[in-house]
Structure 1
Amino acid sequence: MHSFVRASALAIAVATTTAAAHAQGAPAGAAAPATDPQATAAAQDGETIVVTAARRRDEDVQDVPVAVSIVDERQLDATGSINVSKLTQLQPSLQFYSTNPRNSAANIRGLGAPFGLTNDGIEQGVGVYIDQVYNSRIAAATFDFLDVKQVEVLRGPQGTLYGKNTTAGAINITTRPPSFEFEGRAELSVGNLDYVQAKASVSGPLVADKLALRLAASRTSRKGTIYNVTTDKWVNEQDNLGLRGVLLWKPTDDLQLTLTGDYNRQDPECCAQIYVRTGVTQRPLNRQFAALAAAFDYAPRSTNAFDRLTDLDTPLDAFQEIGGASLRAEWDLGPGTFTSVSAWRFWNWGPSNDRDFTGLPITTVSANPSKQNQYSQEFRYAATGDRFDYVAGLFAYHQDQHTTGAQEQGIAASRWLLNPGNVAPGSAGCATPTANACNPAVLNGLRAENDIRLKTTSLAAFGQLTWHVSDRLRLQPGLRVNYDKKSGSYVSVVTTGTGSTVLNADQRGVLAPQSYRPKFSDWNISGDFTASFDVSRDVMAYATVSKGFKSGGINLSGLPLDASNNPILSAATVKPEKVDHFEFGLKTQFLDRKATLNLAGFWTNIRDYQATVTNGQLGVLRGYLANADKVRVRGIEADLKVQPSKRLNLYASGAFTDHEYVKFVDAPCPPELSGGSTATVGQTPSAPGTPGGFSPANCDISGQWLPGVSRWAASFGGEYNVPASILGADGETYFGVDGSYRSKFSSNPSRSAYTDVNGYALVNLRAGFRVEDRFNLYGWVRNAFDKKYYEVLATQSGSTGLVVGSPGDERTYGATFQVQF
């Protein structure tokens, strides 16, 4: 393990290089050799970096025909990349968005999951794997990395080598395995905002050469970054606990069994989205934010989000726990290795949100607690021959989820959500005192109790063959056969403040009772073909053609309503995505292999793209799913690493991503075109931002950007070290810098002038002293120039024009001490 650390630090350092075990070296998720349960361990062999492939042979990563970025444990620690969200600063092609752990999405090259509130009825296009176990909840990506050895981000479809289908890519997390030599690690970090993080792990033999144990734990706490004047508390804090135990048994030289159990918990007061700005919509002016706020003599605590103040009046909670157990068996059998991975995972989610984003009692309860269990079984056999290598596998997965949600309106809801009629200019009062909008009792206490259930079953057979046509040419076909079945139930019972289930039209327009049972099932065959050719000793070219498939889905967040306020049942399911992917890459080394430059160009077309959309109904707080006709993403990626000496290493990675809805003619309209009376046939919709105007029933957003994707993104940095001796310890002092940049991106499913997030650059600094394999002490500053930026923006339901957001972390600083023994 120590040789791995030294090799990774020297060769990868702070770089994100393009390398993985796939095809020529299958990823850790495909199979693993008995000598190293996690595979893909890098080592230095002269001037080359070697991966131990899943087919039990060593390969230079420059010979592996796929685009993958690898981040080792040292880089994770040095850059403060404590979870997948922070990893995006090192990975230009990775995007991660989260307004709370449940409402999170990981995308690669702009693809993976719809942007917006999570809908449990669809699959993630980016798979998250921890020690070869698929995690269906993207919430797993919000937890702190625990005893992690390295993280691989595989870009592009990976379905022919991974158990669960992944059409956009995979995040493969590998933890440290048990050791047959006693070893231990401890780490303590402290910083401003009362930040404290402690990590520890210990490993050693229980029975020499037969049984080994590894235990690890971590604890993180940090004060919140936003002050809530209503509760006199800092919110959006960190409060994380992680525990992991791993038992390794090697009954024979050919067989090893790895039993893993883990438990992770978060219990922060989170997650506040706060006032950013307002924009004019087509709702009547007296029903937009300024007039509504004036009617209650209300003003936001601050109109500058970077004052980091809010007055939210609904309790905030983001409690979640996730964990489970897995058993992995690896058996050297014939020319290859047979691998079995059995796993059970659970996820419990206990939230409370303020979904009106104000200090007014509009929506007083918004909570959707959820419990999930998943079970998976994977069998693989990976073999190597003189001319042919292959991997074949079977995968079975079942998920059972139950959500019991509640939403309740408050005393201000009637005036805020209902139409008070025309009013005199400059007046915020009701024109007709008898209007429902002027009667707080109409919506006060209106409550929806939701019971939501989901069962998912997925079965697959997959495989990949590598044919060594010659010493320089390799052909690699892959195939996947997939079956998916989903069944769900959505029941929403709505009662008035007096407990009655008899609702008037205004009440049904805000919270509509619904009951439906969507179902989906389908078979699919997909595959890929890769050709790679060694142009010279230090140049390899490859090309990939892939036809992928992302399972269809069911809507489990409620359906849009028709003109009679009845759910539109035809929207209960969405069609599968059909993915055509093309990629060409070059992997090169020069300057006597002191420099590495890898390039990848890609073009991905998706038909029936699964998008999260909203409608114009006033009380709708959650989106639903729909299919966009066609989406295209194409671009170029580059990874450069230069190590002119042992003292200096530099890196730069960049991505240009051109992305658009090629055809989406019936999309939801952006806020500036929403909220007015729906234009009828023959009527011309009003110009954007016309109060009281006519809004189109839907909008053609063909040619517009996809949400959440920057056209330009980059990471860059390096480290310089000098030999030094402190208190008799011979080591090195060092200074490092890491930077990232991303250009403007859209933060709304349909691009809006109000919700574009401006581009920004972040810089992290560190300096310290270390003795290799013994200890490391360093100070760090993250967001060193205190850049003010937003992670995500959103709009308030009902076309009021209110835009809210999540400000990124301010400048943080502190120190970390690590020790190994």
Structure 2
Amino acid sequence: MTSKKALLLSTAIVSALGIGLEAALAPAAAQDEAIIEEILVTATKREQTLQDIPIAVTAFNDQMLQKAGVTDMRELTQLSPSLFLTSSASEAAGAVARIRGIGTTGDNPGLESAVAIFVDGVYRNRTNIGLSELGAVERIEVLRGPQGTLFGRNTSAGLIHVITKSPTDELSGYGEASYGNYDAIRMAAGISAPLVEEKLAARVDGVYLQRDGFFKDKVTDEDYNNRDRYMLQGQFVATPNDDLRIRFLVDYTDRDEDCCAAAVIRPSAVSNAMIGVLGAQFGSGALPGESPYDRRSATSPGRGFQQDEQDWGASMQIDWDTSFGSLTSITAYRDWENQRSQDVDFTSLDLVYRDEDGYTQDFETFSQEIRLNGKWGVLDWLIGGYYANEDLKLEDAIRFGTQFTSFADLLVDLADGIPGNGQTAGGAPWPGYNALTALVTGGAITQAFPAGNGVILDSFDQNSKNWALFTHNIIAVSDTVDLTLGLRYTEERKKLDALATTNNPTCLALVQAAQGGLIPASLTQLPCAPFWSPLLNVDGSDKRKEKKFSGTAALNFRVSEELSTYASYSRGYKGGGFNLDRAGMVQGAANVTQLQFEEETVDSFEVGAKYRNANGRINMSGALFYADYNDFQLNAFNGTSFVVVNLPKARTYGVEVEGIWYPTDDLTFTGGLTYADTQYGKKGFDGALFAPPSAGNPLGGAFWQLPGNTLTNAPKWSITGGATYQHPIGNSLSILLHLDGRYTSKVNTGSDLDLEKVEDGVFVLNGRIGLGDINERWQIEVWGRNLFDKNYLQVGYDAPLQGSGTAANTVAPNTQVFNAFLSEPRTYGVTVRGKF
């Protein structure tokens, strides 16, 4: 869809809402229509209506989520146009959330998230940790723009806050079961019961999900990208008296899945030739399907994408109304651990791999927040403090496979332009790395890259201590004007202990030979790639300290009982840290201090308006926004290493419109659009990383295409729309019809903006039809997601060790193989639910 068509569609949505506005304003109709209950939110750490908050925020209650079939955070994008979610090498460790085109790219846990996720007031360390089954949800709030005053660091683009259902004083319960294609089975159930009348209540919820994978491997016949997970949550709420409420929660999530396989989106004649030659030699030269959307992978036998995750935590929230003000305390402990294996080269050749527990991450976090809120005359004041102690442990080991030596020999042959003939470009015999290693070491011919060698262990232990003081105050300047002033001071200390060790003597031997002029230096590039280079071995420590102010100032003007407008400024902050990857150091002079990167800051300006008519049947909001980012953090993979860098500038500006229209008690229309124009800065991009291709540097720097261009996975246009019709049939039954869709304009899915990674605009449609009891005691629904079976890329990347270059480069020939992690195909099924 072109931008012109997108504009026409967005205009149609706004026009439809405008028609509803005119209808709602008709006096005669207004008298007959029922009042639609308004959703209350806690975006300012107070319970307020959306109209009263000078923030761009969208809230979805449990009924909205259920009718749209939202059971996973990723599905929320169908309802929220500004939100964009993708996942890459691991759903458990490689998910990225973006708001208004801004997010943290890549799966390096050393980088904090630009879009924070909170569950019941407790921060989840990284985006991927919060993207699992939702369970029983009361509502979800999506806050757009920096939220550094009340929610702290790592909300430089916005946040998602999930509020789960609390126990009630009445015995109640629910259960549901779903079955779909790919043998998908999802079951959820919960029960809430009073234990001591009006004093103590308890609740238990659980979810189980299992589904076959979307990818079928041509070599191993394994299914990849499957689902096998469950979640349990238990909680108590105690109310000893009317002034005191204590809520205690504990939850546990387990995932045991094979994810994530990738598809080849642009093969290379060079790579295909290598796989053909070596495949004939080793009997394993399978290639994926002709189309990436055949979803056929080709991995090495014994290598795969196993991932295990355990996530558990406990929290206690105390709300105490005192004579001085309302005191809130949230104490929490969380422990998240992930282990995964990986066929690192994503081919049927056994080149490089991670063992079953070759990559592990572990987050342990204790946090404490205390707030005191009260009112003195025209002042609604809030003060608070926050403390968090986070331990992050990462261990990684990338090993040589059984066929790496043959691959390395053949790669050198092909680089010389004589495929597979065993000669160099000068006509001399190419002895291969086995003989060459023996020659330079003076020993017998041995295996240059023995299987299992490589990185024996890279271990990164990081501790982060963060504390903050904050205040957020709303001053009633007049009956119609409120002034909001907020300020937060944050201090964070991070300490890193790093140990990087390899078993790869071939690299050192060849480097010495090259330095002595015995061999060309080019022959050391592959043996000394950052993946396994002993020139990057290190054992050391480093630490950093940050002191930052963030804050907000906003003016809210109630034009009438139905319309309010606001203007705001916000200062946001995302913590700096350490690149937890050996490639962040300098070969031959490795030092832990080279892993540091700086904090990211943002200045955001916004003006908006919110409308809700007297009976609540029309709800509309709109905002114009501009955000300027300094030292924008970027993480990118260039085929041989991961690069983390602070970019001097980035920005986003645009417009948002969202609305809900209830023309009748049975019918609901929703719509929204976001236009976000993002851009990396044009100035200040100095150094080798940003150098354009030239005769002396034919490939250019890793980020040479970034200056002045659109950010990764940042669509200019995102448009959502939905319709729900629920109508009684007779006196006992009710029918449900629901459709929702999302259009996303063209994006570049690669962090380095290679042209091969561009995805054109995509429209995805979901729907469901249901029949149930008029009081919703039971329901049966038939549903489908991605009904038109639209195929698209989530993340494109350079296939490891398989060529170089891009179509955008006119200096160097393009031999690079490009892979991608794909969207989910069409899914459909049936759900049965009941409650009491």
User: What's the CA shift for 1:163?
Assistant: 5.1
Listed one character per residue, the Cα deviations across residues 20-42 of structure 1 (whole Å, up to 9, x for unaligned) are xxxxxxxxxxxxxxxxxxxxxxx
Rounded to whole Å, the distance in 2 between the matches of 1:544 and 1:376 is 29
Measured in 2, the distance between the counterparts of 1:403 and 1:56 equals: 34
Q: In structure 2, the residue corresponding to 1:159 is in which secondary structure?
A: coil
In 1, the alpha carbon distance for the partners of 2:725 and 2:824 equals 27
Does 2:781 correspond to 1:778?
Answer: yes
Structure-1 separation of matches of 2:54 and 2:46: 16
Please show how residues 329-728 of structure 1 align to structure 2 within 5 Å.
Answer: 329-365=318-354, 367-417=358-408, 420=412, 427-431=419-423, 432-436=429-433, 441-445=447-451, 446-448=453-455, 449-496=457-504, 504-505=510-511, 506=524, 507-510=527-530, 511-513=532-534, 514-515=537-538, 516-560=540-584, 562=586, 565-567=588-590, 571-589=594-612, 594-614=617-637, 619-620=640-641, 623-663=642-682, 665-666=685-686, 683=695, 686=698, 695=700, 699=704, 701-725=706-730
Moved more, 773-782 or 501-510: 501-510
Helix, strand or coil at the partner of 2:272:
helix
Paired residues of 1:582 and 1:603 also in contact (CA < 8 A)? yes
**CA displacement 1:509-537 (0-9 Å, x = unmatched):** 35123224232111111211000101223
SS in 1 for 2:680: strand
Distance 2:740 2:702 in 1: 47
**2:663 partner SS:** strand
Give the total of aligned pairs.
745
Amino acid corresponding to residue 487 of structure 2 in structure 1? L
CA distance in 1, matches of 2:46, 2:215: 51
Paired position in structure 1 for 2:67: 78
Ranges in structure 1 where 5+ consecutive residues have no aligned partner:
1-16, 18-43, 280-284, 687-693
Separation of aligned partners in 2, 1:390 and 1:272 = 51
> Could you tell me which residue of structure 2 aligns to residue 139 of structure 1?
128
The one-letter code matched in structure 1 to 2:420 is: A
The secondary structure found in structure 2 opposite 1:536 is coil
For 2:614 and 2:287, the matched residues in 1 are separated by: 59
> Aligned letter for 1:420?
V
Give the Cα separation in 2 of the matches to 1:820 and 1:503.
70
* CA distance in structure 2 between the aligned counterparts of 1:467 and 1:70, rounded to whole angstroms: 25
| Distance in 2 of aligned mates of 1:45 and 1:126 | 37
Assess if the C-alpha contact under 8 Å between 2:325 and 2:372 holds in 1: yes
Describe how 1:728-747 pairs up with structure 2 within 5 A. 730-747=732-749
Deviations 1:66-102 (A, max 9, x none): 1111122233233332222221222111122212111
Q: Which amino acid aligns with 2:333?
A: W
**Distance verdict in 2 for CA 1:267–1:767, change over 3 Å:** same
- Relative distance call for 1:799 and 1:235 in structure 2 (3 A) is closer
SS of the residue corresponding to residue 559 of structure 1 reads helix
- Specify whether residues 575 and 471 from structure 1 end up closer, same or farther in structure 2 by C-alpha distance, changes over 3 A only: same
Cα 1:619–1:606, aligned 2, differ >3 Å: closer, same or farther?
closer
Task: Answer whether contact 1:495 1:502 (CA < 8 A) is retained.
Answer: no
TM-score where L is the length of structure 1: 0.86
> Residues 361 and 699 from structure 1, CA distance in 2 versus in 1: closer, same or farther, beyond 3 angstroms?
same
Cα distance per residue 1:605-646 (max 9 Å; x no partner): 01111111345xx743xx132110000111111102221111
Cα distance, 1:260 vs structure 2: 0.8
Distance 2:794 2:93 in 1: 16
CA distance in 2, matches of 1:277, 1:545: 44
The CA distance in 2 between the partners of 1:668 and 1:635, in whole Å, is 32
Instruction: Check whether the contact 1:571–1:625 (CA below 8 A) recurs between aligned residues.
Output: no
Structure with the higher fraction of residues in helix conformation: 2
Matched, 1:175 2:164: yes
Q: How far apart are residue 475 of structure 1 and its match?
A: 0.4
2:440 is matched with which residue?
none
Q: Residue by residue, what CA displacement relative to the aligned partner does 1:114-160 show, whole Å, maximum 9, x if unpaired?
A: x12x2222321222111111111322223111111211111111121
Alignment partners' CA distance in 1, 2:735 and 2:435: 69
Q: Which amino acid aligns with 2:222?
A: K
Within 1, Cα distance between the matches of 2:45 and 2:218? 59
Aligned partner of 1:709: which letter? A
Counterpart in the other structure of 2:808: none
Alpha-carbon shift at residue 317 of structure 1 (Å):
0.8
Distance in structure 2 (CA, Å) of the matches to 1:450 and 1:503: 22
Preserved contact between residue 417 and residue 437 of structure 1 (Cα < 8 Å): no
**Alignment partner of 1:264 is 2:253:** yes
SS in structure 1 of the partner of residue 223 of structure 2: strand
Residue 314 (structure 2) aligned to one of 311, 314, 325: 325
CA distance in 2, matches of 1:807, 1:509: 28
Deviation at 1:599, TM superposition (A): 0.6
Picking from 283, 295, 316, the partner of 2:277 is: 295
Kept in 1, the 8 Å contact 2:724–2:738? The answer is yes
How far has the Cα of 1:469 moved from its partner? 0.5
Counterpart contact for 1:666–1:698, Cα < 8 Å: no
Q: Distance in 2 between matches of 1:54 and 1:303?
A: 49
CA distance in structure 2 between the aligned counterparts of 1:596 and 1:697, rounded to whole angstroms: 46
In 2: Cα distance, 1:191 partner to 1:433 partner: 56
Partners of 1:57 and 1:124 lie apart in 2 by 25
Q: Which whole-Å CA distance do the structure 1 matches of 2:557 and 2:158 have between them?
A: 23
SS of equivalent to 1:442: coil
Q: 3-state SS of the aligned residue for 2:628?
A: strand
Task: Give, in whole Å, the separation in 2 of the partners of 1:417 and 1:643.
Answer: 65
Cα-Cα RMSD: 2.7
Give the TM-score normalised by structure 2: 0.84
Cα deviation, 1:689-718, whole Å, max 9, x if unaligned, reads: xxxxx6458626311111111111111110
Residue 812 of structure 1 is matched in structure 2 by 827
> Residue 748 of structure 1: CA displacement?
1.5
CA shift digits 1:333-367 (9 cap, x unpaired): 12531011111000111101111011101113263
Name 2:293's counterpart in structure 1: 306
1:48-87 paired onto structure 2 within 5 Å = 49-51=38-40, 59-87=48-76
- The whole-number CA distance in structure 2 between the counterparts of 1:429 and 1:254 is 84
Taking structure 1 as reference, are residues 133 and 291 closer, same or farther at Cα in structure 2, changes over 3 Å only? same
Unaligned runs of 5+ in 2: 1-16, 18-32, 280-284, 424-428, 437-445, 512-523, 804-815
Structure 2 counterpart SS, 1:267? strand
Q: Give the AA of the match of 1:379.
A: I
CA distance in 1, matches of 2:687, 2:253: 39
Counterpart secondary structure, 1:368: strand
Structure 1 counterpart of 2:569, which letter?
V
AA paired with 2:656?
A: E
